[in-house]
């Protein structure tokens, strides 16, 4: 059996290609979900629908959407889940729904893995944003500034002033408390017997 040089080279090349394809590790394959502009926009609409704040600018929502995408791409399985969720939002025309209809759509979506990923990541990321803290009036962590006891703990200007005077019967009750306690204890014991 005679093999031509051409047949040998084609066979060697095919074997090399086949062997290299066989050795691809799917865990190293990079899937990048949510990388398109329209993917980011539809995810941002979902985040805005979940956490609507009229006075929030787009910056915190942009950063939150980026974090949803980043954490969604943390593994190939998560990336597939994220891209499938985005594709479903697109196919259902979520980007064209008004606020009431988009809220209803998300309620009907149920507790899917995609929904829970977006909701969970958005909750933490959006409300940990320092720009959001300023908008909500939160001064941030207090531990590095001495804690809340001497810094804001007593800032209760939205509550009425507490009354300082004692109840008129308090002094009489406290002076008779040992006798009164014994009477109450006896009364309870009689009722139990």
Determine, yes or no, domain membership for 152: no
> What's the Rg (C-alpha) of the chain?
33
Place of tokens 């980011």: 40
Tell me whether residue 164 is in a domain. no
Q: Half-sphere exposure (CA, 13 Å, Cβ side) for 168?
A: 0
Residue 171 placed within a domain:
no
Output the pLDDT for position 50: 95
pLDDT under 70 in the chain at which residues? 1, 8-15, 17-31, 148-156, 158, 166-178
Flag whether 150 is in a domain: no
Give the pLDDT of residue 123.
Answer: 95
Indicate whether 4 belongs to any domain: no
CA 79 to CA 32: how far, in whole Å?
7
Domain membership of residue 163 (yes or no) is no
Sign of CA dihedral 59, 106, 75, 17: negative
d(CA 76, CA 25): 12
Nearest-angstrom CA–CA distance, 33 and 180: 73
The domain total for the chain is: 1
Range of the domain at 56: 37-136
pLDDT digits over 9-27, tens only?
666 666 676 666 665 555 5
Whether 170 is in a domain gets the answer: no
Phi-psi category of residue 89: left, alpha or beta, with phi > 0 → left and psi -120 to 50 → alpha: alpha
Two structure tokens written together for 48: 């805005």
Query: By the 8 A CB rule, do 63 and 129 touch?
Result: yes
On whether the CB atoms of residues 64 and 123 are closer than 8 A, the answer is: no
Compute the distance between CA of residue 69 and CA of residue 61 in angstroms, rounded to an integer: 12
* Residue 65: predicted pLDDT: 96
Q: Is 189 inside any structural domain?
A: no
pLDDT for residue 19: 61
């Amino acid at each position: 059996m005679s093999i031509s040089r051409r047949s040998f080279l084609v066979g060697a090349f095919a074997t090399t290609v086949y062997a290299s394809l066989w050795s691809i590790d799917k865990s190293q394959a990079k899937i990048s979900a949510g990388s398109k502009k329209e993917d980011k926009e539809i995810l941002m609409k979902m985040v805005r629908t979940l956490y609507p704040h009229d006075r929030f600018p787009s910056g915190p929502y942009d950063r939150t959407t980026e974090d949803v995408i980043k954490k969604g791409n943390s593994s190939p399985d998560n990336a597939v889940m994220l891209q499938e969720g985005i594709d479903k939002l697109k196919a259902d025309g979520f980007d064209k729904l008004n606020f009431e209809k988009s809220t209803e759509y998300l309620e009907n979506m149920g507790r899917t893995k995609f929904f829970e990923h977006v909701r969970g990541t958005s909750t933490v990321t959006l409300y940990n944003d320092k720009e959001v803290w300023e908008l909500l009036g939160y001064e941030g962590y207090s531990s590095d500034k001495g804690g809340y006891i001497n810094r804001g703990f007593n800032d209760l200007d939205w509550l009425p002033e507490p009354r300082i005077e004692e109840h008129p019967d308090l002094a009489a009750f406290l002076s008779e408390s040992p006798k009164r306690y014994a009477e109450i204890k006896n009364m309870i014991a009689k009722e139990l017997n």
